[in-house]
Amino acid sequence: MKKNLLLVVFLSVSAFSFAQKGSFGTEVYFRPWNAQNVFTLIDGLKARYFVTDNIAVRAVLGYTRTGGTAYSTIAIGANTNMELKTVSSNSSFTFNPGVEYQFKTFNKVALYAGVEGHFNLRSDLTKNTNDQDDDYTLTKNQNGSTAFGVALFTGLDYRLTEHFYVGTELGLSYTTESARKRKDKAVVSGQTTETTVENKDRTSSFATFVLPSIRLGWTF
């Protein structure tokens, strides 16, 4: 699948009250378009709890799932065609726990900084069938991966009203990503063959980032 890079200005809009010990907030991460130019309504959920007036623990949960069906036709005889059907799906689960320190609010601007852990699990599945028999092939985790990382971040919020603000968040992250085992299954003329392919590919990255999402949230 062709991927297009998209640079998005990050704004966060979220319910806000003065940081106080015991206050709890939730946020919805909203991304109008992701890297594949796909409209994504819920890109992540964030919870934040202030254990003191300045220190908060936070966690981000994210889940996305895409899929589709493709059809094609091949000739298997002089006057006979076979229709092929491919069903595919991709999913991604993210969990990022962290802690942040909120500095004193200056007029309408609140500054904060912290550290956050990253975990991401990507899975995919592809199934090929036809309209002539019950044969099929099934592949799991052709591009599946598991990623771990850590990030240092800082951000600022500009309060528009007592309860709403816009802001940005950026930081420095290190991530290592490992490929998952690929599992193949083929059923041909009633005979089933299953194989597992070990993939030892691993990549790592060290980079700065600006969070390309819009946050909508509220506090309790």
Distance CA 91, CA 145 (A): 11
Residues pairing with 49 in the sheet: 24, 57
Q: 10 vs 67, 93, 94, 118, 146, CA distance in Å?
A: 27, 21, 19, 20, 26
pTM of the model: 0.78
pLDDT in tens, 82-136: 999 999 999 999 999 999 998 877 788 888 999 999 999 999 999 999 999 999 9
Confidence band, pLDDT 50/70/90 cuts, at residue 30: low
pLDDT in tens, 61-86: 888 899 999 999 998 887 889 999 99
